[in-house]
């Protein structure tokens, strides 16, 4: 997958760049190859391995939008890691400053054991809320200067993010990616 990242990186900052990210095994690369057919956009597939997550910082300044891919079938086993990754994206200075829209794409929704986008949204919100509470406790001890998402004193909700956050479902392997295509049409300048 690192080859996908290197091969797709545009030479300059363009308003037509989509960053695909998410945990390993979520289906990013399948989407990468499907969305690469849409012109004129650049799609950057950021590998999901934890050691390669810092690559995200290199490509986010170019992003017109972020597609965060979640495995809807195997979601519960990775909900905490997915929430941490999503929180990191939503609190990146570039995403906040440019109000980069984020699509949470619940992939593999065609599988019988897949969780619904509503369930995934609620679980991500709960986990981000827990994560934010623990990070805010550290921040109040003057160890770090953490960004506050949402409304202080209220449970976190994705609708409270400065950036537009959309949750959709589909299945990359079967070509059911209309939500991703619609997101690209709406937020990427040709």
The CATH number that applies at residue 107 is 3.40.50.300
Q: Does residue 185 surpass a pLDDT of 90?
A: no
Which residues span the domain enclosing 154?
2-7+16-187
Number of structural domains (the chain) is: 1
- What is the tens place of the pLDDT at every residue in 84-98? 999 989 999 889 999
Q: Does residue 116 surpass a pLDDT of 90?
A: yes
What is the reported pTM? 0.85
Judged by average pLDDT, the poorest of 10-19, 41-50, 127-136, 149-158 is 10-19
Residue 37: per-residue pLDDT: 58
What is the pLDDT averaged over residues 158-174? Answer: 93
Q: Encode the chain in three state secondary structure.
A: CHHHHHHHCCCCCCCCEEEEEECCCCCHHHHHHHHCCCCCCEEEECCCCHHHCCHHHHHHHHEEEEEEEEECCCCHHHHHHHHHHHHHHHCCHHHHHHCCCEEEEEECCCCCCCCCHHHHHHHHHHHHHHHHHHHHHHHHCCCCCCCCCCCCCCCCCHHHCCCCEEEEECECCCCECHHHHHHHHHHCCC
Residue 137: per-residue pLDDT: 63
- What is the tens place of the pLDDT at every residue in 144-162? 455 677 777 788 899 999 8
Instruction: Please indicate whether residue 181 or residue 6 has the higher confidence score (pLDDT).
Output: 181
């Amino acid at each position: 997958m690192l080859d996908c990242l290197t091969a797709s990186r545009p030479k300059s900052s363009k308003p037509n760049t989509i960053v695909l990210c998410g945990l390993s095994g979520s289906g990013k690369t399948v989407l990468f190859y499907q969305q690469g057919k849409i012109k004129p956009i650049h799609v950057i597939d950021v590998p999901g391995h934890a050691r390669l997550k810092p690559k995200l910082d290199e490509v986010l300044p170019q992003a017109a939008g972020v597609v965060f891919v979640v495995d809807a079938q195997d979601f519960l086993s990775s909900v905490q890691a997915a929430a941490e990754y999503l929180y990191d994206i939503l609190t990146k200075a570039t995403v906040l400053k440019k109000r980069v829209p984020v699509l949470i794409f619940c992939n593999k929704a065609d599988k019988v054991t897949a969780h619904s986008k509503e369930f995934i949204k609620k679980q991500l919100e709960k986990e981000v809320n827990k994560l934010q509470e623990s990070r805010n406790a550290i921040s109040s001890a003057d160890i770090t200067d953490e960004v506050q998402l949402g409304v202080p004193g209220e449970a976190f909700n994705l609708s409270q993010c400065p950036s537009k956050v959309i949750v959709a479902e589909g299945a990359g392997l079967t070509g059911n990616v209309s939500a991703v295509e619609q997101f690209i049409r709406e937020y990427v300048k040709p």
